[in-house]
């Protein structure tokens, strides 16, 4: 039970992310059917029923995923409350947040049942869809910061509804738009679908921005709270990702306008940008889940990081640390009797040697990443060096080996904690997971580049793994008692996640596009790697 309680913080953010993603796809599918497929049925001809069945199938699957995620979230929260408050399970299950999760699970089940029956000819979903979507969003608004506010709760709940509804129609609707581009073969009908979805997206973006702006003004309050708190840092990351989404959406908007005059025009870029919008959109959703786990910035008037402290932390300085302090100088080397007076689960205060150890690890890791980015860039820019530079993925193995042995000094083979035992610490468990992903990057990409793996999906392991690791980095938290120090660490980690998102999805576009756009995307992700490496090389904790 203690292990479960220790990892619950990370688990709850991940579950919240899956819940919001499934909810967006389910509600986005209902909106797509209501506002596009059914009104345009006459223009779609024989493609209409095919598109409707496929859309209903995805609504069914996403609603089932929502049901499972909400049920798991309710069970996890009940166990956590029972364990931490030392109360019976049935009493813990009476908590309001547990009831909200169970209600959302029930609505997920009803939506799944309605979609399943509709695929077999039932028509009830046509009248029930708006009600079910509104009820689901309304219930989810009951699990946000809005309901815990003493002032403005109604306005904030309305803003949450606008924000979640806009995200569902826009981001959740993109998979259905991609279906339509495939299923609708008539160029004129396909152009009509594109125009209708473009209008839906414009309205959804307006609702999303209006709700988000109201919540940002209320929950943040002042510019200093935006950059001086963890909530503000995560909100800034979410806004940055949203701007990237708007850029991709803008490119698709322009492409759709061209279809008006040329219905049979090429759709390759529209499809590929839409695919990328789905990936970045899911990252935004996980960022929103992480944001929901943090207290609003305005509730933390003290212990904020100042602008000068942030500049001091981020300012590049030489020399970098390439020599580690002696292990005996670290807190991890303290004998058990020196720790006996600490509270259960507490760690000893960090010493200058501990900070030097952490910076040493980050600086070496940064050198590995810079080397990979430079080699990948040279592979594309120099035909003479390309045969050697194409082996750059092997550098991943060196990075993974270094991190496995040196990232966590308290763990085997340096510290007293065994490898399995160390996984009880959420932060160490996340480091191990990222190490495995790094190994997967290197081996797969190297084999693909040598042509030894010819499966169509193999080339996509690298961009998906990069983007997924970056998304998980946004859920990565450092539970410190010093809120200012926690914020300063988040400020150094969050830009790494954003650069990782850019690297992953630009590599995806390189694989999926052609012509000049492919070449440009192929240059973006190595540069992103170099930026990420430099951030690590100059990383500081004091």
Helical packing angle, 187-220 and 2-32, nearest 10°? 140
pLDDT value of position 5: 64
**What is the C-alpha separation between 501 and 464, in angstroms, rounded?**
10
473 pLDDT more than 90: no
**Residue 103's pLDDT band (cuts 50, 70, 90):** very high
345 pLDDT more than 90: no
Name beta bridge partners: 411.
417
- Across the range 132-137, mean pLDDT stands at 90
**What is the C-alpha separation between 115 and 174, in angstroms, rounded?**
19
263 pLDDT more than 70: no
480 pLDDT more than 60: no
116 pLDDT more than 90: yes
Distance of CA 47 to the CA centre of its chain: 34
pLDDT value of position 288: 86
**What is the C-alpha separation between 424 and 422, in angstroms, rounded?**
5
Query: Tell me: the pLDDT tens digits for 187-219?
Result: 888 888 988 999 999 999 999 999 989 988 888
Q: What pTM was computed for the model?
A: 0.84
- Mean residue pLDDT of the chain comes to 85
Q: Which of 195-199, 444-448, 486-490 has the lowest mean pLDDT?
A: 486-490
Residues 6+ apart with CB under 8 A from 243: none
Q: Which of 155-169, 308-322, 330-344, 496-510 has the lowest mean pLDDT?
A: 330-344
**Residue 257's pLDDT band (cuts 50, 70, 90):** confident
Return the residue matching tokens 């200058």. Answer: 352
- Across the range 355-374, mean pLDDT stands at 92
pLDDT value of position 499: 94
Q: How far is CA 173 from CA 32, 198, 233, in A?
A: 6, 11, 28
The DSSP code sequence of 226-293 is HHHSHHHHHHHHHHHHHHHHHHHHHHHHHHHHHHHH-TTS--HHHHHHHHHHHHHHHHHHHHHHHHHT
- Across the range 460-468, mean pLDDT stands at 88
pLDDT value of position 27: 95
3-class DSSP assignment, residue 40: coil
3-class DSSP assignment, residue 294: coil
3-class DSSP assignment, residue 342: coil
C-alpha count within 13 angstroms, C-beta hemisphere, residue 472: 18
Residues 6+ apart with CB under 8 A from 86: none
């Amino acid at each position: 039970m203690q292990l479960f309680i220790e990892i619950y913080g990370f688990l709850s953010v991940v579950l919240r992310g899956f819940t919001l993603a499934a909810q967006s796809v389910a509600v986005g599918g209902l909106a797509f059917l209501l506002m596009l497929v059914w009104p345009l049925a006459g223009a779609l001809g024989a493609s209409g029923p095919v598109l409707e069945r496929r859309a209903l199938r995805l609504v069914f699957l996403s609603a089932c995923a929502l049901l499972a995620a909400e049920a798991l979230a309710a069970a996890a929260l009940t166990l956590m409350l029972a364990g931490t408050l030392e109360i019976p399970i049935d009493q813990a299950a009476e908590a309001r947040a547990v009831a909200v999760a169970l209600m959302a699970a029930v609505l997920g089940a009803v939506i799944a049942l309605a979609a399943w029956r509709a695929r077999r000819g039932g028509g009830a979903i046509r009248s029930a869809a708006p009600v079910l979507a509104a009820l689901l969003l309304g219930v989810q608004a009951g699990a946000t910061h809005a309901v815990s506010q003493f002032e403005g709760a109604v306005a904030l709940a309305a803003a949450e509804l606008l924000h979640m509804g806009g995200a569902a129609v826009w981001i959740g609707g993109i998979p259905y738009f991609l279906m339509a581009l495939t299923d609708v073969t008539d160029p004129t009908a396909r152009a009509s679908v594109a125009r209708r979805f473009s209008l839906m997206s414009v309205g959804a973006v307006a609702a999303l921005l209006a709700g988000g702006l109201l919540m940002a003004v209320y929950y943040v309050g002042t510019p200093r709270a935006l950059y001086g708190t963890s909530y503000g840092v995560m909100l800034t990351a979410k806004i940055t990702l949203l701007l990237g989404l708007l850029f991709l959406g803008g490119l698709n908007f322009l492409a759709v306008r061209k279809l008006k005059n040329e219905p049979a025009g090429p759709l390759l870029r529209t499809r590929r940008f839409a695919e990328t919008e789905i990936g970045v959109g899911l990252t935004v959703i996980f960022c929103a889940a992480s944001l929901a786990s943090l207290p609003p910035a305005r509730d933390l008037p003290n212990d904020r990081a100042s602008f000068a402290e942030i500049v001091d932390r981020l300012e590049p300085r030489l020399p970098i640390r390439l020599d580690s302090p002696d292990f005996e100088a670290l807190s991890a080397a303290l004998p058990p009797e020196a720790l006996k007076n600490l509270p259960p689960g507490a760690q000893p205060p960090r010493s200058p040697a501990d900070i030097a150890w952490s910076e040493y690890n980050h600086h070496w890791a940064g050198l590995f990443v810079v080397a990979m980015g430079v080699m990948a860039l040279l592979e594309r820019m120099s035909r003479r060096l390309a045969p050697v530079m194409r082996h750059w993925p092997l550098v991943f193995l060196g990075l993974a080996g270094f991190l496995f042995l040196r990232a966590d000094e308290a763990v085997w083979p340096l510290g007293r904690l065994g490898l399995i035992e160390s996984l009880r610490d959420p932060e160490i468990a996340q480091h191990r997971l990222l190490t495995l992903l790094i190994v997967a990057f290197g081996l797969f990409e190297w084999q693909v580049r040598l042509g030894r793996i010819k499966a169509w999906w193999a080339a996509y392991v690298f961009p998906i793994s990069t983007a997924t690791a970056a998304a998980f980095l946004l859920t990565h938290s450092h539970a410190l008692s010093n809120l200012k120090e926690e914020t300063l660490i988040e400020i150094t980690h969050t830009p790494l996640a954003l650069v990782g998102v850019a690297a992953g999805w630009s590599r995806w576009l390189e694989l999926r596009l052609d012509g000049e756009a492919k070449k440009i995307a192929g240059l973006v992700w190595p540069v992103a790697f170099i930026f990420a490496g430099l951030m690590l090389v100059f990383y500081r904790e004091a």
